[in-house]
Amino acid sequence: MNPPILKRWWQKLTRTRVGRSIFRVGLPGSNLERSQAMTSSFLLHIQPAKVHKHSLKAGYSLGLGLISLYLLFILIGTGVLLMFYYVPSTERAYNVMKDLQFVVSAGLLVRNMHRWAAHMMVLFVMLHLCRVFYTGAYKRPREFNWVIGVGLFLMTVGLSFTGYLLPWDQLAFWAITVGTNIAGYAPIIGPKIKFLLLGGNVVGQEALTRFYALHVIVLPTCTLLMVSIHLWRVRKDGGLSRPDEPSEAVEQIPLGQLPTNKSYGLMELARGTTPQVGKNPEDEVFSWPNLVFREILLFLLVTAVVLFLAIFWNAPLEQYANPIHPPNPAKAPWYFLGLQELVSYSAFWGGVVVPGLLVTALLVLPYIDRKRVGVGRWFARERVVANSIFTVCLLAAIVLTIIGTLFRGPNWGWVEPWQQPPAVVEGH
């Protein structure tokens, strides 16, 4: 039987002189070439030539980290496109939004994709954090990678926060007013941070300029750097976390008595956690095609979902920013509504203390919960205490978010979503 037509074309292309010079290995036919395909390509060499079977199990990782990464790619792509039109000016920014909607070819689609991918990224980074917790994947040697991951979560939230000032609509203006005022409640340095963020005392042109710089260059650069370190460490720690293998397979190899049938790099001998040390080769499969094709498939799926959302639902745009009248109720996006609900009890406790303690708890978690048990399994019984505490916090956050989203009406008063909200009476 002849190979499919695309494969034949590809083979023909890689056999030409030019094709050979670019791709070198061509379509791998042997195991040697499968390794070479990974190591000889700049884009693929970031990944190992062989990957543990456990890392490929969709039911273990759910692909949440990869999905977050792909959403970041989509956000960078659409974000750069938006930059070709956007002007960070309080007078022009809102008009650019209208131009994107009504004048620019595919402008609405690009803005919608950027908005929905941003929402999805916040969601999937949160889910990824939950997955890593429930599988105990933050334990030795991955403690510091968890810390970087928490940093990436904060970066994601910071990117979305700085992003929504940019349209200069009502949501933008009042979300930034409320957000920077929360920062102002931080002890001692709070008012100074607020002044620095806004570049003054009021939300105006200076604030827009600063948030623009943060959104398009400072935070994305930091995020990409941290993502690189995050992925590098996953690779150096031997792929995704997995249950410890039976100890009989682990055989300490004394230095200088290396078996001759396998070549070891210095790096791989430096520590005992790398993929090559003391492990059955049968547990590994070639990254080409097992890993690469799964990744491509997942990327297509994520892109399709974002496109679907962007085609059928428009990104909201409220009225032009009005510093006199906040909308009533003035609501942040869903991922900040739990925080807004907390803040409606006390700005200091809800806006500074509780989030500060939660982030601190996440950062120090791997150094407190040090026992290496239940790694690599969902909801391991040995981790019932840690899992319970985490679940309680998670449920509290979900309940607060639901209350803030559905049960709060004008003046942040209690409403029941199945009832008509009371008419707002405003008088001066």
Binding-residue pattern over the window 11 to 50 for another protein, x denoting contact by CB under 8 A: ----------------------------------------
Is the CB of 177 or the CB of 223 nearer to another protein? 177
Tokens 């260059």: give the residue.
Answer: 217
As beta bridge partners, residue 52 has 284
In three-state secondary structure terms, 42 is coil
- Tokens 């990117």 belong to which residue? 159
Site for another protein in 385-424 (CB under 8 A): 410-413
Nearer to another protein, 73 or 345 (CB): 345
- Least Å distance, CB 155 to another protein, is 20
User: Which is closer to another protein, CB of 164 or CB of 286?
Assistant: 164
Q: Closest distance between another protein and the C-beta of residue 340, in Å?
A: 7
CB of 190 to another protein, least distance (A): 12
* CA–CA separation, 54 and 332 (whole Å): 40
User: 312 to 331, contacts with another protein by CB under 8 A?
Assistant: 323-330
Rounded Cα–Cα distance for residues 62 and 130 (Å): 11
Binding-site size, another protein (CB under 8 A): 38
Report in angstroms how near the CB of residue 91 gets to another protein at its nearest. 14
User: Could you give the CA distance from residue 267 to residue 125 in angstroms, rounded to a whole number?
Assistant: 31
DSSP 350: I
- Give whichever of 141 and 410 is closer to another protein, judged by the CB atom: 410
Residues 165-204 interacting with another protein (rule: CB under 8 A): 174, 177-178, 181-182, 195-196, 199-202, 204
Could you say which residues in the range 343-362 bind another protein, by CB under 8 A?
Answer: 343-348, 350
Do you know the residue count of the chain? 428
Token pair for 107: 């402008």
**Please, what is the minimum distance in Å from the beta carbon of residue 236 to another protein?**
28
Name which of 47, 40, 8, 45 is nearest 25 in CA terms: 40
Closest CB 322 distance from another protein, rounded Å: 9
CA atoms of 261 and 324, how far apart (whole Å):
76
Report the candidate in 231, 52, 64, 71 with the shortest Cα–Cα distance to residue 132.
64
Which amino acid is residue 71, in one-letter code?
L
282/426 with CB nearer another protein = 426
> What distance in Å separates the CA atoms of residue 223 and residue 71, rounded to the nearest whole number?
13
Helix (H) or strand (E) run with residue 362 in it? helix 354-368
Nearer to another protein, 299 or 412 (CB): 412
Of 141 and 199, nearer to another protein (C-beta) is: 199
Angle at 220 between CA 214 and CA 223, to 5 degrees: 120
Min separation Cβ 398 and another protein, Å: 20
CA pseudo-torsion sign 26, 32, 36, 38: positive
Please state the closest distance from residue 402 (CB atom) to another protein, in A: 17
Q: Which residues bind another protein (CB under 8 A)?
A: 174, 177-178, 181-182, 195-196, 199-202, 204-206, 323-330, 340, 343-348, 350, 410-413, 425-428
